[in-house]
Amino acid sequence: MQFGSVRGARKVFLAKERGGGATEDLVALDDASFDFEAGEFVSLLGPSGCGKTTLLRMVAGLTPSSGGSITINGKDVDGPYGDYGFVFQAPSLMPWRTVLQNVLFPMDVLKRNDSAALQRARELLALVGLSDFAASRPHQLSGGMQQRVALCRALIHAPKLLLMDEPFGALDELTRLEMNDLLLKIRKETRASVLFVTHSISEAVYLADKVLVFSRRPARVVEQLSVSLGYPRSQAVRFTPEFTQAERRVSEALGILAPTAGAGVH
């Protein structure tokens, strides 16, 4: 069932808004279009600075569009709305709050910080293996643990849409792989739709049902590639011919490799 639709999305940053002595308008997105289904995991992949983060912010209603339309769960996005969670590359936890208090912060904002919210927060911390750190402060946690807290915070209000802007890019490779598996587990538990920005071809393929490949700025979707790898997925799938072929097809779409016949993505 279709959950989200982006049609002809366009974003222009006017010179007067850009500052820094800019004299020309900047077209960040131009005619970007795609759909995604309820519960679908979609990876957004493309050159650095091509507009993927801008698009994510437009889907969230945080950045106004300059044209086109964005519809989420049957409603046009014309400003910020409550039914999404956003996970950024930096955890951005509040240092004066405990882990549990950080997770509960959105419920404070929504004025729903009650016993049910507390139970939900503890369940999420248990899900990500941080029950023993509920009373800890962010500075007492590793980078990977902090990002787990940020993920719990984004999920505390049970959103139907999870927006993730290269959340694991600053982590070491081992922690990143662990977070990939954790995210797949959380996605199965919550059944949320996920839009996930990454610069890693391997990560995009491993996580997604569908990979959207963006052009250089001004960005548009140049390829939509369905990943046919089954679930549940484990790290062992990375060493299969199907996974290798899937990575190759994405690499071809990005222009890194010359086109050839393949499997795993279609």
The per-residue pLDDT for range 180-234, each reduced to its tens digit, is 999 999 999 999 999 999 999 999 999 999 999 999 888 889 999 999 999 899 9
Structural domains of the chain in order of their starting residue, each with its CATH number: 2-83+159-254 (3.40.50.300)
**Angle 173-190/115-127 helices, nearest 10 degrees?**
130
- Distance between CA atoms of 137 and 134, rounded to whole angstroms? 8
- For the stretch 229-257, pLDDT in tens is 998 999 999 999 999 999 999 999 998 88
Nearest partner of 164 among 36, 39, 55, 76, judged by Cα? 55
Per-residue pLDDT at 263 exceeds 50: no
- Euclidean distance between CA atoms 185 and 180, whole angstroms: 9
pLDDT at 264 over 60: no
Q: Encode pLDDT of 47-104 as tens digits.
A: 888 889 999 999 999 999 999 999 999 999 999 888 899 999 999 999 999 999 999 9
The Cβ of residue 22 has, within 10 Å, a number of other Cβ atoms equal to 13
The whole-model pTM stands at 0.92
pLDDT band at 265 (very low <50, low <70, confident <90, very high): low
pLDDT above 90 covers a percentage of the chain that reads: 80
The predicted structure's pLDDT at residue 261: 55
Q: Which class for 134: exposed (0-12), middle (13-18), buried (19 or more C-beta within 10 A)?
A: middle
